[in-house]
Chain A
Amino acid sequence: MKKRLWPGAPARERLMEKILMLSAAISILAVVLITIFIFSRGIPLLTQVGVRDFLFGLTWSPTRGEFGIGTMLAGSLAVTLAALLWSVPLGLMAAVFMAEIAPGPIGQVMGRLVELLAGIPSVVYGFFGLIVIVPFIREYLGGSGMSVLAGAMVLGVMILPTIINISRDAIVAVPQEFREGSLALGATHYQTIRRVIIPAARSGIITAIILGMGRAIGETMAVVMVTGNSTILPDSLLSPVRTLTSNIVLEMGYATGDHQAALFATGAVLFVFIVILNLAVNLSVKAGARNADS
């Protein structure tokens, strides 16, 4: 369908092609502009403070001109890893259930439920966490309740749809012959799932986990409402933390000068994280394509 326009094509045809091309180019322009604007605001401060001191410095005291986001880097990682720890196994099992075990209609209903879960705004999750999960932790586990654990619980729910949907698609895409071959060799359904289907869907599952991780690191509203936001290094699941994203949303409202630049630098760090994870996804998808070819 990619016909070149013939030379005598009416002017309108050629004009439309140009207009459509420009609208396609918007995304390129947007990414370039985002990169330029975020970095141009953040880099001067990064060089002034020094990349190492900025990333690993443990004191965040904008009024005294001390900008170290080490505690928040640790906070983001702690909350994200704790969320992945429970959300990945649960999500994977749910994906296997939907693709392999549930009867058709039940699988479809589950699909709709997961879609709804994905559609609920993060601020609603955060609100639910603040009203239900935080008091629960305070009551039964101690501390203020505002904690890594609360953040991990809320975030885990939020990344479930990403993990479930992408790994389910990967499992469904495993060729039917693989299943039939394994079953014909006398393997049970579960042996087939564990030894044949999951390994064959591996690259899709890895993609799902990486994208879930990206979502967790970038999430703001849900986390800021439940983790307490102290700039300290977390030493247990119950200690309060501040994440990179929370730092920005909490202080952007009143920050000026170097302080504001430091928040942009925080955003730049986040941006770099996300780009690295995106590259990892592309590699994983390519590896998957190679596997499928061989």
Chain B
Amino acid sequence: MPTARTYEKILTALFWFIALVIAGILVAIVGYIVWRGLGVVDLGFILEAPRRAGKEGGIFTAIIGTLYLTAVALIIAVPLGVGAAVYLEEYSRKASRFNTLVNLTMETLAGIPSIVFGLFGFVLFVIFLNLGWSILSGGLTLALMVLPTITRTAQEALRSVPVEYRENSLALGAGQWQTIRRVVLPPAWPGIVTGVILSVGRAVGETAAVLLTAGSSLNMPGSLSDPARSMSVHLYILAMEGLSLEKAFGTALLVVVLILIINFLANLSLRRLTGSIRQDG
């Protein structure tokens, strides 16, 4: 059937074309931002504070703001997320009502739009707990947003640790928590780290929720109760208020490069997870 074969050839070509289109979209976006941003970014851009609302100078305070916000989010979310994963995987029964409820609410958290998190963070942290627009309010809000990612990746990492590890440790007389800490967590660590790295990416890129909870002050934050502006918020304000296209490209470039590095590290760490378990087993 020559016609059928021609038809299939055309289809194959179409599929390859679509793959190229998708690769092309990515290359176009990243390439364009790198191309336009490269001339803007130099050491001064990174290390100088912005002047005249960001029209001049660098974005140093926004970089510091991003660091603070991300750090606060991780310090809160990592122990909670890993703890939740350990409880779900190692203690509670899979079919228990508690387990189902936690999984359901984690899914819900993962699906809630960032602007709704922003509203929530605003009314709970900024107003109700009287933390004001601050790094603490922003970090707490971000922590809730990245919690599902950290929990889910940690759960997967724990699941990939062979049951024999636990049985051997328990058989030797170790307690359950001892077993988890000394035997189960170490090989799962790279997987947990992957989730943490991915969360850094989410925290760095988040804009709407940070804008509503951490404010958009360009001053250098001195403490956790000071307001701050993240790089993403800075990019939004520069572009929306037409302050400086040039600085916006520079900021966008730094954000994109950061995301590329984060993505690379996450993959690296994921590969170490499979590696560590294969070697030990």
A58 to B120, CA, bound (A): 26
Kindly list chain B residues whose C-beta atoms are within 8 Å of the C-beta of A116: 26, 30, 259-260, 263
Q: Which residues of A contact B163 (CB under 8 A)?
A: 1
Query: Cβ of A287: which chain B residues have Cβ within 8 Å of it?
Result: none
Do the beta carbons of A97 and B18 come within 8 Å of each other? yes
B residues bordering A, Cβ < 8 Å?
Answer: 4, 8, 11-12, 14-16, 18-19, 21-23, 25-26, 29-30, 32-33, 79-81, 83-84, 86-88, 90-93, 98, 101-102, 105-109, 111-120, 122-124, 128, 144, 147-148, 151, 163, 166, 170, 175-178, 201, 204-208, 211-212, 232-233, 235-236, 239-240, 245, 248, 252, 255-256, 259-260, 262-263, 267
B259 A119 Cβ-Cβ under 8 A? yes
Candidates A1, A114, A211, A218; contact of B115 at CB < 8 Å: A218
Residue of A nearest to B106 (CB): A27
Residue of A nearest to B260 (CB): A116
A97 touches B11 (CB 8 A): no
Contacts of B260 in A (CB 8 A): 116
* In the assembled complex, A81 has its CB within 8 A of some CB on chain B: no
Given contact pairs A24-B102, A37-B124, a sample of 12 additional A-B residue pairs in the complex whose CB atoms are under 8 Å apart = A9-B175, A38-B116, A116-B26, A116-B263, A119-B201, A121-B206, A220-B115, A225-B236, A248-B115, A252-B122, A253-B211, A271-B112
Contact B175 A190 (CB under 8 A): no
B18, B83, B114, B240: the one within 8 Å of A90 (CB): B18
Q: Are A26 and B208 in contact (CB under 8 A)?
A: no
B84 & A37 in contact (Cβ 8 Å cutoff): no
CA distance A113 to B22 in the complex (A): 8
| A200 shortest CB reach to chain B, Å | 19
The reply to whether the CB of A122 lies closer than 8 angstroms to some CB of chain B is: yes
Output the least CB separation between A193 and chain B (Å).
Answer: 9
Whether B119 pairs with A122 at a CB distance below 8 angstroms is no
Which residues from chain A contact B22 at a C-beta distance below 8 Å? 90, 94, 110, 113-114, 117, 160, 164
With most chain B CB atoms within 10 A of its CB, the pick from A16, A27, A188, A211 is A27
Closest 10 CB pairs of A and B: A121-B205, A218-B113, A23-B83, A20-B87, A24-B84, A24-B87, A16-B177, A27-B105, A220-B208, A31-B105
Pairwise interchain contact A23-B79, C-beta atoms closer than 8 A = yes
Q: How far, in angstroms, from A36 to B141 measured CA to CA in the complex?
A: 16
Q: How far is the CA of A3 from the CA of B174 in the complex (A)?
A: 13
- Cβ-defined contact, A124 with B252, below 8 A: yes
Q: Which of A45-53, A66-74, A125-133 contacts B (4 or more CB under 8 A)?
A: A125-133
B176 engages A34 (CB within 8 Å): no
A121 pairs with B8, CB closer than 8 A: no
Q: Which residues on B sit within 8 Å (CB–CB) of A245?
A: 113, 115, 208
A217 at the interface (CB under 8 A from B): yes
- Contacts of B108 on A, CB cut-off 8 Å? 31, 274-275, 278
